[in-house]
Structures are given as structure tokens and as C-alpha cells.
Structure 1
Amino acid sequence: MDIVSNTPIAGQAGGFAAGGQPASGGGLVSSDFETFLKMLTAQMRHQDPLNPVDSTQFATQLATFSSVEQQVRTNELLTALGAQMGALSVSQLSGWVGMTARAEMPVHFDGAPVTISTRADDLADRADLVVRDRDGKELQRLPIETGRQELEWAGVTAGGAPLPSGAYHLTVESFAADELTSTDPVYVHARIVEARNEDGRPILVMDSGQEVESGDIVGLRQAQ
């Protein structure tokens, strides 16, 4: 058994310099590596001289630890890279502040008409704009044209009285021969007032207070 020849290998495994010192930073990984070296040294010192441990076992242990150590470092680098990308995304999205975005989200009604975009099934012969409250209860059903269009939802009852202020969920139901063929989302137009990074996700805040991820924005235009 050649114990001396294995010592330099242990000192250089997993990106560490001789003597067990980390080549670049350490922290918890460095502490764990020093503990591993102490355990390995103790194992070598107290092995049975009549039945020594095969040197390939030491090499296997070093290779296993090196693999784990490299994975830990990779995860740390990916986490740091994700944070940097999130900050970069917010910097890029800052140019969106002040613009009008179109996204699938609840309508925040405060008494003023809300601009929405709808698209009914192209094969439908009629379509309805369906308004529901937070609990999913249907409050209103308005006939609209089929196809794609932009319109103003006034938020009033059949008698002309305004609905209470709050959030409403709007969908478009398409019918062919009185059979429901599809239910499609309604896209709401709102002005962006803030862009921020939240848990690594770029978030856009609308003037209504609603928050939307940047990936959910399907259209942008200059605010009127």
C-alpha cells in the first residue's frame, strides 16, 4: 500500500490546491472538505496493517466528494446567475413603465369604462361576453360580435346602474347552432406604473394595482 502517493491526490481533488485549501472561495464546501480530509486521514492511520484498505477505495471516495462539491458550486453559480438575469430583466422592463399593456387578468372596475380585447370562435354564429364576480357567480351576459375586436366594457347593469367597484372576471363564450363551442379569455388594457423583481420573477404593476408577470403581457402600446 502506498499511502504517501495518495496524499497529493487528496489535496488536489475537486478544484482544491495542495494542503486542502479551496482554489476559489470556500464557505460550507471548504469546511466539509476539511472534515472529509480528517476522516480520510484517520481512516488511513487506523486501518488494519494486515488487511489494508485498497488505495482505489480512497480514490473512489475522493472522486465522489469532488463530484458533490462541484455540483454544489454549480448550483451556487446558477443561483447567482438567476439573480443577475432577474435584475437585468427589470432594467429592460423599466422602459415599459408608462405604456399600456394588454394581458389576461381580472378587470378592476372603479366606475369608469374599461378597454378590453375579445376574440370569439371564428366558426361561431354568436358570442356572449360573460361577467362574473370574485366567487364565480355570473352577473351579466352581453351579446358581442364574433371575431377579434376591441371594445369598452361600461360595467353597468341592464337598468344602467353601475356595478359595485371591485374585480370582475370576464370571458367570451362562443356558440354555433346554440351549442357552446369555446370559452376564451378577455384581455384587459391597463397602464404599467412599476416594474420590479420578486423572487427572481420580473413583475409589472398596473395602475389598477394588479400585478402581472412580464411573460403574460401579449401587447404594448403608448398610453393615450
Structure 2
Amino acid sequence: MTTPVSSFGTQQATGGSGSAAASQSATSALTSDFETFLNLMTTQAKYQDPLEPMDSSDYTAQLAQFSSVEQQVLTNETLSSMLSALSLGNMSQLTGWVGKEVRAQAAAHFDGSTPVAVAPNPAAVADEVKMVVYDAEENEVGRIDLPVSAEPYQWSGEDGDGNTLPEGSYTFVVESYSNDEVILSEVAEVYGRVEETQNVNGEVALIMESGSAILASAVTALRDPEGTSGNS
């Protein structure tokens, strides 16, 4: 099962897909207006008074408006086709990422034994930092005290009681406190293996081993899987 791009806690995934959806909605509305305008004009011509026909200048003006709307619809359709082709080209280029590990704000896959490297980025002015662990159902399963540092943290897969959690997808939210108040809360970056690339609303999405989907533009680092040569 693949989690949508706008998955738990990942804010960066909503921007591009939202823009694409808005563009599609605008095109649909414009096409609807175009069809309505055409129906109104033909109805007006059909039922005009033969003794007092439409003034030729008014008819010419309406034809000019009709042509303008038609060209705008065709232009939008052409732009949509170009964007789709560009997205497919980008997706083709990023197929080389399949099997690689990318770092982004996303859920991580825990195999039941191998620690997960979490990259926290707490607020510099914080006096206390906690990392909250959530499972795939967004249930809190652990809360860990961290130093006020951006140094990677190796999560061993334990819950708050020291018990090892089962294999699955987990999300890490880093909370920065100042005077016992949360001043920053954001999803920590983790490395995950790319399983597939997809075209989502005109943008390239990466399907991760955890089942989550992230936009390629949200990736902050890329490397070969641990244990292989040529790390980038």
C-alpha cells in the first residue's frame, strides 16, 4: 500500500500537486465557459427576430470573443500536454534513483533489527528536544530525549518502555522546547530506499520502501545503499 504524497507530517508534498490540481480546475472551468458561450451564441442566432436581425457589428464582436475563448482553451490544452511530456522526461531521468537511498522528510522503514538513522534539526534556541515516534497508523509509540544538536540519531526500534517494535513504517517528529513550550515541531529527515518513480499531477514522485511517496524536489541528499561502493 502506498501512502499519498501529502502523507503524515510532510508539508513539502502539497505544493506542486495543489498547483497542478488548480490548473486542471481552471482549464475545466474555462472549457465549460467556452461551451456555454457557444450555446448562447447559437441560440441567439437561431431565435433572433428576422425583422430586426442582430446588428452585424455585434455579431462580429461576438465571433471575435468566441475565437479568443477557443484559442485560450487550445493554448491551455497544449500547455498541459507539454507539462505532461516534460514530467515524463523528468521521471525517465530519475529512474536511475530506483534502488538508491534518498534523504527527505518522510516515514522510514524499520526491518525489525537494523537501526534507523534520523537527522533531527531542532531550533537553535531550544533548551530541550524530544523525538516523538509514530507508527503507520499515526499512533505515538515512543518519545525520546535528544540533545540540542543536528547530529544524526540512531533509532534502535524501541518504544518508550525499551521494547523492540515490529517491522513497519515509522515517522519521527522532532519537538523543540523553550521554557516548557513547543516552539518548533517538524518531521525529521531520514534515508529511505527508492522503489519506484511515478508521475503525480505533473510532478515526479518517489515511492519509498516504507510505502510513502515524496516529491523528487523534496529530496535533500542521495547515496548508494549502505554496504555498497561509490556513495554520493
TM-score, scaled to structure 2: 0.69
What's the counterpart of residue 121 of structure 2? 119
What's the counterpart of residue 65 of structure 2? 64
1:73-112 CA-to-partner distances (Å, cap 9, x unmatched) read 1121122112111111102212322321111112332212
Q: 1:52 to 1:205 in 2, by over 3 A?
A: closer
Give 5+ residue unaligned stretches, structure 2. Answer: 1-33, 227-232
1:9-28 alignment to 2 at 5 Å?
Answer: none
What's the counterpart of residue 50 of structure 2? 47
- The structure with higher relative contact order (CA 8 Å, sep 6+) is 2
C-alpha contact (below 8 Å) 2:169/2:210 kept by paired residues: no
Q: 1:115 to 1:84 in 2, by over 3 A?
A: same
SS at match of 2:73: helix
Shift of 1:210: 2.5
What's the counterpart of residue 188 of structure 2? 186
CA distance in 2, matches of 1:165, 1:47: 79
CA distance in 1, matches of 2:138, 2:209: 24
Q: 1:172 to 1:57 in 2, by over 3 A?
A: same
Whether 1:109 and 2:93 are equivalent positions in the alignment is no
Aligned residues: 188
What's the counterpart of residue 173 of structure 1? 175
Q: 1:136 to 1:194 in 2, by over 3 A?
A: closer
Moved over 6 A (4+): 36-39
CA distance in 2, matches of 1:170, 1:52: 72
What's the counterpart of residue 93 of structure 2? 92
CA distance in 1, matches of 2:148, 2:209: 30
CA distance in 1, matches of 2:211, 2:174: 24
In our comparison, the structure showing a higher alpha carbon Rg is 1
Q: 1:85 to 1:209 in 2, by over 3 A?
A: same
% identity of equivalent residues: 34
Q: CA RMSD in A?
A: 2.8
1:112-131 CA-to-partner distances (Å, cap 9, x unmatched) read 22122111111122211111
Shift of 1:218: 2.3
TM-score, scaled to structure 1: 0.71
CA distance in 1, matches of 2:126, 2:201: 42
Shift of 1:136: 4.1
C-alpha contact (below 8 Å) 2:107/2:210 kept by paired residues: no
